[in-house]
Amino acid sequence: RAPPPGGGGGDGANGGGGPGPVIAEIAFDTDTGMWTYKMLRPDKNQPNYVTTVMSTMIELAEGICGEELQYRMSTSHPSRDDWGTQLKKMQGKAVLFRMQKPV
């Protein structure tokens, strides 16, 4: 267990007299289907309540468009879900198309 940035003494809750709880921020990577570490949160000493986590996940899920849902549901395995990569490619092609044929 690493101490939070800036040292931090903590309350010794881990039994060794060392730092107390350390909260990390993570994010879901839609390209890999895995959670990735973002940063430590020295401003927090308690994790989010499960209701906060679930509420956030529901809000994110409700923002999905039909095309994304159809694309993701058609993949044979989560590791093959490359929606983010394909979306970036198509956005780049849209910009190139617009540059060639200005309105």
**The tokens 């879900």 sit on which residue?**
81
| pLDDT tens across the length of the chain (103 residues) | 444 455 444 444 444 555 678 999 988 877 777 888 999 999 998 888 999 888 888 887 777 888 988 898 898 888 899 999 999 999 999 999 999 987 7
Q: Which pLDDT belongs to residue 8? A: 47
Domain boundaries, the chain: 1-48, 64-103
Gap between the Cα atoms of 71 and 102, Å rounded:
30
Distance CA 67, CA 22 (A): 39
Give the strand pairing for 24-29 and 34-40.
antiparallel
> How far apart are the C-alpha atoms of 59 and 70, rounded to whole Å?
19
Model pLDDT, residue 61: 76
Give the SS3 label for residue 98: helix
